[in-house]
Structure 1
Amino acid sequence: MKRFLIYAVKILIVTGLVAIALDGLYTAVFLRSKNRGKIETVFNSEPQQYDVIILGSSRANNHFVSKMFEDKGFKTFNYGMSGGHLFEASLMLKLMIERKYSIKNVVLEADLNLSNDNESEGVSAKFLPYIHNSEVIKDHFSSQENFNELYYIPFYRYIKYDSKIGFRETYKIVTHQTTNALDNLGFYPLKKHKNGNMKNNIVNLNPLPHNKYYEEIKNICKANNINFIAVMTPMCENVTGMNYFEKVKKAYPEIHNYENIVIENKYFSSCGHMTDEGAKMFTARILKDFFKK
């Protein structure tokens, strides 16, 4: 029995040492990644100066044409993240401030995601390689139920989110494989598809009366003298429950409602995402209303 216990302890020690070594190796790789995604690019960047930063979900990523801002003389990048929630948008802004970014305007897509204050695991996982290297990332995750496992157990986060930050992603970083996430100044244009889902039902969707992460973004902007512009972006003409946007306006009167600026189905790839043509029409209106020179 004694020999078995000694053997078991040795196995645990070896396993722990291997986990620590792998954790350090993977983290070192991510600390050198600059060309695969928006999160690691910000984390590993030097201080930047921007006239306009765009934050939000895919409805930001696909709707704000960065080049149109640049053509008007505003240095811009679209940091919208497909699948992301306000949890990730807030953390992205915090990370920029931690990295000493100088930002004049933040444009936030704030509509459907006001209905929850949850993290999007698939997106938030991409912040986790840096949880020991950034106080804002550590603090942001500290309220999550699995924080202790993510922070204190070596290599746990890489195993749990293997599909996002595991071996395959590490290999692609090491072999300098790029993605299109940084193309078009962060804007991702969509095309019209015959099989696009052109129906949506948001009848049961309700904005939270106090969305924690929306308020964080607003307060960060105020504390850093950043002009904060929150907008609701368009949806197609086949949506059921469009009074959701009226609910948002009632709960958050400072958010500008642009859900009906573009409504024709021909300008949408799917009911919640405009095509490149629709995005250009929408962006032109945003520029006209908020960015006159």
Structure 2
Amino acid sequence: MKRFLIFTGKIILITILISVVLDGIYTAIFMRSKDRGKIETVFNSKAENYDVVILGSSRANNHFIPQMFQDKGLKTFNYGMSAAHLFEASLMLKLMVERKWKIKNVIVEADLNLAIGHRSKPISSKFLPYIHNSTVIRDHFQDEESFNEMYYLPFYRYIKYDSKIGFREAFFTLIHKRTNALENLGFYPLQKNKNGNMKNNIVKLNPLPHNKSYEEIKSICKANNINLIAVMTPMCENVKGMDYFDKVKKAYPEIHNYENAVTDDKYFSSCGHMSDEGAKIFTARILKDFFNK
């Protein structure tokens, strides 16, 4: 029995040591990444100066064309991320402020994601390699499910989210294999898709009366003298439940409603995402309404 306990103890100790070593190696790799994705680019950045920073989900990533802002003399980058929620948008802004970025304007896409109060696990997991190296990230996750395991158990977060920050991603990060995330100043253009889903039903969708992450974004902007432009972006013609946008306007009157700025299906790749051509029309409208002074 004694030999068995000693053997078991050695196995546990070796497992812990391997986990600590692997955790250190993976973290060191991500800590040196600046050219693969938006999150690590912001985390590993030094102080930046921007006239316009764009935040949100794919409906920001696919709808705002930074080059059109740049052509007006406005230094701009689109930090929208497909599948992201406002939880991740808020954390991105916190990191920018922590790194002493100077930002004049933040455009945040706040529409469908106002109905979501939780984090996007696939996207939020990409912040986790830095959880021990950033008070901002640690505090942002502190009330989340499995926080103790992610924070205190070495290598646990890399195993749990292997598809996002596991071996494959660590290897590609190590060899500096680029993605298209940083191309086009962060904008991802979509083409008209003949097979795109041009129907949508948001009848059951309701904005939360108090979306914590959106309120955080407002507070951060106010505290740092950043002009916040919160907008609802367009959807195609054939949508059931379009009164959702009226509900948003009632709950958050400061959010600008542009869901009807572009409606013709020919400008959409899918019902919730405009094509490049539609994005040009929409971006031009935003520039005219907010930056044509």
SS at match of 2:245: helix
- 1:155 shift after superposition: 0.1
Aligned partner of 1:183: which letter?
A: E
Aligned partner of 1:272: which letter?
A: G
Name the structure 1 match of 2:169. Answer: 169
Q: How does 1:1-293 map to 2 (within 5 A)?
A: 1-293=1-293
**Deviations 1:190-222 (CA, angstroms, capped at 9, x unpaired):** 001111010000000000001000000000000
Rounded Cα–Cα distance in structure 2 between residues aligned with 1:143 and 1:258 = 33
- 1:175 shift after superposition: 1.4
Rounded Cα–Cα distance in structure 1 between residues aligned with 2:153 and 2:103 = 36
Aligned partner of 2:104: which letter?
A: K
Rounded Cα–Cα distance in structure 2 between residues aligned with 1:70 and 1:106 = 15
Aligned partner of 2:260: which letter?
A: N
Rounded Cα–Cα distance in structure 2 between residues aligned with 1:292 and 1:236 = 27
Rounded Cα–Cα distance in structure 1 between residues aligned with 2:97 and 2:48 = 10
Aligned partner of 2:144: which letter?
A: Q
Root-mean-square deviation (CA), in Å? Answer: 0.5
- 1:116 shift after superposition: 1.3
Rounded Cα–Cα distance in structure 2 between residues aligned with 1:117 and 1:81 = 17
Aligned partner of 1:202: which letter?
A: I
Rounded Cα–Cα distance in structure 2 between residues aligned with 1:42 and 1:56 = 15
**Deviations 1:101-156 (CA, angstroms, capped at 9, x unpaired):** 10000000000000011100000000000000000000000010210000000000
Rounded Cα–Cα distance in structure 2 between residues aligned with 1:174 and 1:81 = 22
Rounded Cα–Cα distance in structure 2 between residues aligned with 1:9 and 1:291 = 65
Aligned partner of 1:274: which letter?
A: M
Aligned partner of 1:13: which letter?
A: L
Aligned partner of 2:6: which letter?
A: I
Moved more, 171-180 or 248-257: 171-180
Unaligned runs of 5+ in 1: none
- 1:19 shift after superposition: 0.1
User: Runs of 4 or more off by more than 3 Å in structure 1?
Assistant: none
- 1:167 shift after superposition: 0.2
Rounded Cα–Cα distance in structure 2 between residues aligned with 1:8 and 1:134 = 35
Rounded Cα–Cα distance in structure 2 between residues aligned with 1:225 and 1:292 = 20
Aligned partner of 1:8: which letter?
A: T
**Deviations 1:28-80 (CA, angstroms, capped at 9, x unpaired):** 00001111100000011111000000000000000000000000000000000
Rounded Cα–Cα distance in structure 2 between residues aligned with 1:13 and 1:60 = 47
- 1:95 shift after superposition: 0.5
Rounded Cα–Cα distance in structure 2 between residues aligned with 1:165 and 1:99 = 23
Rounded Cα–Cα distance in structure 1 between residues aligned with 2:174 and 2:153 = 24
Tell me the TM-score normalised to structure 1 length: 0.99
Unaligned runs of 5+ in 2: none
Rounded Cα–Cα distance in structure 2 between residues aligned with 1:284 and 1:142 = 40
- 1:166 shift after superposition: 0.3
Rounded Cα–Cα distance in structure 1 between residues aligned with 2:110 and 2:17 = 44
Aligned residues: 293
Rounded Cα–Cα distance in structure 2 between residues aligned with 1:27 and 1:105 = 32
**Deviations 1:72-107 (CA, angstroms, capped at 9, x unpaired):** 000000000100000000000001011111000000
Rounded Cα–Cα distance in structure 2 between residues aligned with 1:81 and 1:155 = 25
- 1:225 shift after superposition: 0.2
Aligned partner of 1:227: which letter?
A: N
